[in-house]
Amino acid sequence: MLMHLIGFEIRWCAKQWVFRISLVVFLLLGVVLSVAPFGAGGHINAPIGIAMGLALLSLNGLFSVTLLAAQGALRDRDTRMEPLIFATPVSRFDYLVSRFVGLVACSLLAILPAAVGLVVGHLWLSDRSLMGPVIVSPYLWAVWVLMIPNIFMCCSVLFASAIATRNALTTYIIGVALYIAYWAASMMADSPLMAQSSPYAPSDTHPAILFEPFGIIGILDAVRFWTVEQKDQWLIPMTTPLLLNRLLWMGLSLSLFAFTYRGFGFRDVEGTKRRRQQQDDTWDRPGSLAWQAVARQAMGLRRDFWQILTCVRMSLRCLSRGPAFYLMALLWLFFCAVTLSDQMRGGVFNQSVFLDTPQILNVLFEPMVKLGALVVIFFSAECFWLDRQHGMHAWIFSSGLRAWSHVIAHIVTVVMVCLGWVVGTFFIGWAFHVAFGDRAWHWLAGWMFLFQSLIPLVAVGLMTLSLQNLVPNKYAGMFLSLTFVVLFTGVIVSRLPGMDHPWWRMVWVGDFHYDSMTQSTYVGWDFLMHAIYTGGLVLTALVVAGVCWQHGSFKLGKPVLAWGLSGVSAIMIIIGAVCVLGPWNPEMDTKSGRLDWLERHERTWSAEKDRPVPSIRAVSLDLKIQAHRYLCQGEYKVWNNTNEPISEALVSVPLGLRLVTLTSAQADTTVMGPYRRITWDPPLNPNAEATIKFEVAESMSGLRPGNPERYVVGGTAYLEMDKVLPVFGYRSSWSIKNAKERQKRGLPVIDDDCDERGAEDRFQLSARITANHHFQAIAPGTCVERFVSGNQVTFVYQSNAPIPFSFAVAVAKYQEHRSWFGDKEVVLYTHDHEHVDDILRGAVDALTYCESEFGPYPQPRLVIAQIPAFSSSFAATAYPGLIFLVSDKALQLKDNDGRLNYRMMAHEVSHQWWGKMVEPAPCKGASMLTETLAEYTQMVIAEKRYGPEVTTQYQQLMDPLYFSWRGYDEEPEPPLNRVERQAYVAYFKGSHAMYQLRDMLGESRINGVLRDYAMRFAHPSYPRADDLLDLFRQEVATVDEHRFEALFTTVTTYQLNLKSAVTERTESGWTTEMNVDIQVIGPLQNEAELYELRLVDGDGRIMAESQAEWGPGSHTLNVQSHSRPDIAELDPRLMKLEADRSDNSVAVANR
Partner 1 sequence: MLSITRLSKTYRNGTHALRGIDLEVGPGLFGLLGPNGAGKTTLMRTIAALQRPDEGRILLDGVDVVAFPQVVREQLGYLPQEFGVYPGVSAEDLLNHLAILKGLTARKSRHEQVRSLLHQVGLDTVRHKAVSTYSGGMRQRFGIAQALLGDPKLLIVDEPTAGLDPQERYRFLNLISGLGRDRVVLLSTHIVEDIRELCTQMAILCDGSLLIEGAPEGLLSKLSGRVWTKVVHADDVQAIRSQFRVLSTRLRAGRMQVHVLHDDCPGHGFSRIEPNLEDLYFHVVRQDQAC
Hey, what amino acid is at 175? G
The residues facing 659 across adjacent strands are 696
Q: Is the dihedral of CA 477, 21, 39, 209 positive or negative?
A: positive
Q: Which is nearer to partner 1, 17 or 857 (CB)?
A: 17
The minimum distance between CB 562 and partner 1, in angstroms, equals 17
Piece in contact with partner 1 (CB under 8 A), picked from 85-93, 114-122, 397-405, 741-749: 397-405
314 makes contact with partner 1 (CB under 8 A)? yes
Stretch that binds partner 1, among 168-176, 310-318, 716-724, 917-925 (CB under 8 A): 310-318
Rounded alpha-carbon distances, angstroms, from residue 122 to 138, 500, 549: 13, 21, 42
Does 1011 help bind partner 1 (rule: CB under 8 A)?
no
- Considering the complex, what minimum distance in angstroms separates the CB of residue 414 from partner 1? 18
Asked if 310 touches partner 1 (CB under 8 A), the answer is yes
Bridge partner residues of 703 (DSSP): none
Shorter beta-carbon distance to partner 1: residue 281 or 751: 281
Tell me if 1039 contacts partner 1 by CB under 8 A.
no
Alpha helices in 390-441 (DSSP H): 393-397, 403-436
Choice from 11, 92, 302, 1122 touching partner 1 (CB under 8 A): 302
Q: Is the CB of 280 or the CB of 1067 nearer to partner 1?
A: 280
Q: Between 124 and 291, whose beta carbon lies closer to partner 1?
A: 291
Q: Which is nearer to partner 1, 289 or 788 (CB)?
A: 289
In terms of DSSP H, where are the helices of 112-239? 113-120, 137-141, 148-165, 168-189, 202-211, 216-222, 228-233
Q: At what angle do helices 2-14 and 92-111 cross, to 10 degrees?
A: 40
**Of the residues 87, 136, 290, 665, which one makes contact with partner 1 according to CB under 8 A:** 290
Binding window for partner 1 (CB under 8 A); candidates: 110-118, 295-303, 703-711, 877-885: 295-303
Binding flag, residue 301, partner 1 (CB under 8 A)? no
Report DSSP letters for 121-139, one per residue: IIIIIS-GGG-----SHHH
Q: Which stretch binds partner 1 (CB under 8 A): 306-314, 800-808, 903-911, 952-960?
A: 306-314
Site for partner 1 (CB under 8 A): which residue of 402, 594, 723, 1033? 402
The piece of 243-251, 286-294, 618-626, 765-773 that touches partner 1 (CB under 8 A) is 286-294
Indicate the residue among 284 and 610 with the shorter CB distance to partner 1. Answer: 284
Neighbours of 818 (CB within 10 A): 10
Nearer to partner 1, 290 or 434 (CB): 290
Angstrom distance (rounded) from CA 572 to CA 566: 10
Task: Select from 253-261, 388-396, 1044-1052, 1139-1147 the region that touches partner 1 (CB under 8 A).
Answer: 388-396
Q: Of 124 and 283, which has the nearer Cβ to partner 1?
A: 283
Cross-strand pairs, 1107:
1092
Q: With binding defined as CB under 8 A, does residue 390 bind partner 1? A: yes
Cβ-based neighbours of 148, under 8 Å, separated by 6 or more: 108, 112
List the x/- string, 515-554, binding to partner 1 by CB under 8 A: ------------------------------------x---
Q: What is the DSSP string of 754-807?
A: B-TT-SPPEEEEEEEEEEETT-EEE-SSEEEEEEEETTEEEEEEE-SS-EES--
CA distance 53 to 229: 19
3-state secondary structure of 795: strand
Report the C-alpha gap between 1045 and 1029 in whole angstroms: 9
The nearer residue to partner 1, 307 or 991, going by C-beta atoms, is 307
The residues in 434-473 that bind partner 1, with binding defined as CB under 8 A, are none
- Candidates 203, 398, 643, 1038; binder of partner 1 (CB under 8 A) is 398
282 counts as binding partner 1 under rule CB under 8 A = no
d(CA 220, CA 138): 15
Nearer to partner 1, 91 or 297 (CB): 297
Nearest-approach distance from CB 552 to partner 1, in angstroms: 11
Q: What does the per-residue mask of binding to partner 1 show for 549-588, with x meaning CB under 8 A?
A: --x-------------------------------------
Q: How far is the CB of 589 from partner 1 (least distance, A)?
A: 47
Distance separating alpha carbons of residues 868 and 885, to the nearest angstrom = 9
CB 907 within 8 A of CB 877: no
Nearer to partner 1, 293 or 788 (CB): 293
What is the distance between the alpha carbons of residues 211 and 181, in angstroms, rounded to a whole number? 8
Cβ atoms 308, 409 nearer than 8 A: yes
Length of the chain: 1151
Q: From the list 87, 136, 295, 749, which residue makes contact with partner 1 (rule: CB under 8 A)?
A: 295
Cα atoms in the Cβ-side hemisphere of radius 13 Å centred on 847: 24
- Is residue 265 classed as helix, strand or coil in its secondary structure? coil
Distances, alpha carbon 660 to alpha carbons 147, 807, 1148, in Å: 56, 22, 75
Select the residue interacting with partner 1 from 89, 133, 265, 271 (CB under 8 A): 271
Stretch touching partner 1 by CB under 8 A, among 311-319, 599-607, 821-829, 865-873: 311-319
What are residue 1119's DSSP bridge partners? 1072
Cα 819 to Cα 828: distance, rounded to the nearest angstrom = 8
- Distance from CA of residue 880 to its chain's centroid? 31
Stretch that binds partner 1, among 387-395, 410-418, 687-695, 1014-1022 (CB under 8 A): 387-395
- Residue 1034 lies near partner 1 (rule: CB under 8 A): no
# residues near partner 1 by CB under 8 A? 46
Backbone φ, ψ for residue 631 (5° rounding):
-135, 130
Which helix (DSSP H) or strand (DSSP E) does residue 842 occupy? helix 836-854
DSSP state for residue 142 in the 8-state scheme: I
DSSP class of 1035: T
Regarding 401 and contact with partner 1 (CB under 8 A), the answer is: yes
Start-to-end Cα distance in the chain: 66
Select 303 or 1005, whichever has its Cβ closest to partner 1: 303
In contact, 60 and 107? CB cutoff 8 Å: no
**Binder among 273, 275, 317, 833 for partner 1 (CB under 8 A):** 317
325 scored as a contact of partner 1 (CB under 8 A): no
- What is the nearest approach in angstroms of partner 1 to the Cβ of residue 403? 9
Q: Coil, strand or helix: which one is 416?
A: helix
Binding partner 1 (rule: CB under 8 A), the pick from 88, 203, 278, 789 is: 278
- Residue 544 Cβ vs partner 1, minimum distance, rounded to whole Å: 21
Q: Considering the complex, state which of residue 77 and residue 677 has its C-beta at the smaller distance from partner 1.
A: 77
Select from 290-298, 594-602, 628-636, 794-802 the region that touches partner 1 (CB under 8 A): 290-298
Q: Which helix (H) or strand (E) holds 462?
A: helix 445-470
Distance CA 397, CA 307 (A): 13
Q: What angle do CA 603, 605, 606 make, to 5 degrees?
A: 75
Tell which one of 394, 1015, 1088, 1147 touches partner 1 (CB under 8 A): 394
Q: How far is CA 114 from the centre of its chain?
A: 26
- In the chain, the largest separation of any two C-alpha atoms, in whole Å, equals 114
Please identify which residue in 8, 144, 259, 306 interacts with partner 1, judged by CB under 8 A: 306
Nearer to partner 1 (CB atom), residue 262 or residue 296: 296
In three-state secondary structure terms, 1008 is helix
Task: Decide: is 392 part of the binding site for partner 1 (CB under 8 A).
Answer: yes
Rule CB under 8 A: is residue 259 a binding residue for partner 1?
no
Instruction: Give the residues lining the site for partner 1 (CB under 8 A).
Output: 271, 274, 277-280, 283, 286, 288-299, 302-303, 306-307, 309-311, 313-314, 317-318, 321, 386, 390-392, 394-402, 551
